[in-house]
A and B are shown apart, each in its own frame.
Chain A
Amino acid sequence: MSSLAIGMMVGVCALVWGGFLILLVRAIRHEGEKGREPEAAAPRA
């Protein structure tokens, strides 16, 4: 594999998968902070 292809692979995978994992961790953290909220769906606006 060429070094250009390796560099691209690392960059794209880090951006897409890394981005997904960072967002997932952030969502888990926020969800933990909010705790369980037994609420119903909102009525119509």
Chain B
Amino acid sequence: MSSGEHFASRWGLVLATLGMAVGTGNIWRFPRVVASNGGGSFLVAWVVFLLIWSVPLMVVEFSFGKRARLGTVGAFARLAGKGFAWMGGWVALCATAIMFYYSVVAGWCLRYLFASLTGELASTDSTALWESYTGSWMPVATHALALGLGLWVVLHGVRGIERVAKILIPTLFALVVILAVRAVTLPGAERGLEFLFRPEWSDLGKARIWLEALTQNAWDTGAGWGLILTYAIYMRVREDVPLNAFLIGFGNNSVSLLAGIMVLCTVFALDPGAGQQIVGAGNEGLTFIWMPKLFAQMPAGGLFMTLFFLGLSFAALTSLISMIELASRVLIDGGMARRQAVICVGAAGLLLGLPSALSLDFLHNQDWVWGVGLMLSGLFFAIGARAFGIDRLRTEVVNAEGCDLRLGRWWNVAVAVIVPIEAVVLMGWWLWQARGWDPEGWLDPFRAESAGTVLLQIVTAVVLLLLFNRWLARRMAGQEAGS
């Protein structure tokens, strides 16, 4: 069953996929992580993993979507074999579980955009505002608003997604460039640049730097989430795969670099004494407490604060839209009409996002669990490609007619060997870290950020998916599954 929907042009596909990749992680996580992990030396490892994790997985996703023309479950069942449908189910489950709390985060961005537009943020203590906001029912309302906006776009199909991406993504790029230029021209901004780019070569011998760089690539490029696969369903027949994958990987990391310059120059120009404290304040602390305080000290700070939260809201909404489309597409493959599927996803998102909207602890738990789960998703894509035949995928889909950049056998090695090793090492390292954070309760499944909670939720989900594998394969990929 082909939906017949497709992107009108290459630029529609590229902008929508960039919108998926560029999210809040680029703006609030990258500057913090690079600042806490050796600056320039981290950047070396970050570029290396762009090439040996993100881009190879993006190519797998693009080729799966283009070949199968089905969502994650159907694509795995059809290309890897019907025994692999549960892996596609895992990828869908992981991205959808993230969607439930990501909608809450997008709601925070909208709330702060409103507060900066009305001047409330400039005239109120940002710590008090954050505490009163997150301690009230308001996050539920902003979660519903963000979800509603995303659903409205997805209801209009892939052309709706394309139209929105064509407006929001160039605007987002322009906003980030304006803010980065403003930050670099602040007196004292060179302290931020020094902090961001000064390399400590000895850091390159530390495993932690490499693992943090891999994690950042895994989380902020969207490679291995299933979202690129979903958009690739709507590629034109003679659309390129490899050049688009490289373009999106480098485009995403370009925005991260701009965001790093913007945030760290602002922090170190306006409050150099508190630089370390600010970048150590966590994602929410940096974005919703410190950035408003810093913007308030800047000439025309209200304007730049509004532009910052406008960019953050655009980044969050375009990523949220891709997650809603992924979940909806799986239901469409299962036989639902688009409207029906989007309404189902919206109802589930509204309901299952409520715990995260009402409790930061719950949101952090979900972020921790599904963040580790994403690495498993990346591993599953590598396994799925191997089951289909990596060289067959490269010759029949990646380097097929219409490709603008031929991939060599290095890609086979990256997908067959390097990506699986990276995924296993990364998952092991994160769980090991959890032991260090909480030696007493690291296996307690009821603690917010323990290895126990990750194992409990992941194992439960995998067992359920395995039990329903046959049903999933039959339902999502029809009788030809496994062919």
CB atoms of B250 and A31 under 8 A apart: no
B171 close to chain A: CB less than 8 A: no
CB atoms of A39 and B236 under 8 A apart: yes
Chain A: interface size category: 20 to 34
> Nearest CB to that of A43 among chain B residues?
B2
CB atoms of B237 and A42 under 8 A apart: yes
CB atoms of A5 and B194 under 8 A apart: yes
Q: Using Cβ atoms and an 8 Å threshold, which residues of chain A touch B193?
A: 1, 5, 9
Instruction: Pick the contact of B69: A2, A17, A34, A42 (CB < 8 A).
Output: A42
Q: How far is the CB of A6 from chain B (nearest CB, A)?
A: 8
CB atoms of B70 and A44 under 8 A apart: yes
For B, the interface residue count at a CB cutoff of 8 angstroms equals 46
CB atoms of B4 and A8 under 8 A apart: no
CB atoms of A13 and B194 under 8 A apart: no
Within 8 A of A (CB), among B1-46: 1-6, 9-11, 14, 40, 43-44
CB atoms of A16 and B237 under 8 A apart: no
Q: Using Cβ atoms and an 8 Å threshold, which residues of chain B touch A39?
A: 236-238
CB atoms of A45 and B197 under 8 A apart: no
Bound complex: CA of A40 vs CA of B3, how far in Å?
10
Q: Using Cβ atoms and an 8 Å threshold, which residues of chain B touch A30?
A: 240, 243, 404
CB atoms of A27 and B47 under 8 A apart: no
A1-B193, A16-B250, A23-B243 known; A44+B69 contact, CB < 8 A:
yes
CB atoms of A12 and B43 under 8 A apart: yes
Q: Using Cβ atoms and an 8 Å threshold, which residues of chain A touch B235?
A: 41
CB atoms of A15 and B47 under 8 A apart: yes
Within 8 A of A (CB), among B188-216: 190, 193-194, 196-199
CB atoms of B257 and A41 under 8 A apart: no
> What 0/1 readout, one digit per residue, does chain B (222-248) give for beta carbons within 8 Å of chain A?
000000000001111110100110110
- Interfacial residues, chain A to chain B (CB-CB below 8 A): 1-2, 4-6, 8-9, 12-13, 15-17, 19-20, 23-24, 26-27, 30-31, 34, 37, 39-45
27 A-B contacts (beta carbon < 8 Å): A1-B193, A4-B198, A4-B199, A5-B194, A6-B197, A8-B43, A9-B196, A12-B43, A16-B254, A19-B246, A20-B247, A20-B250, A23-B247, A27-B247, A30-B240, A30-B404, A39-B236, A39-B237, A40-B4, A40-B6, A41-B2, A41-B3, A41-B4, A41-B69, A42-B2, A42-B66, A45-B68
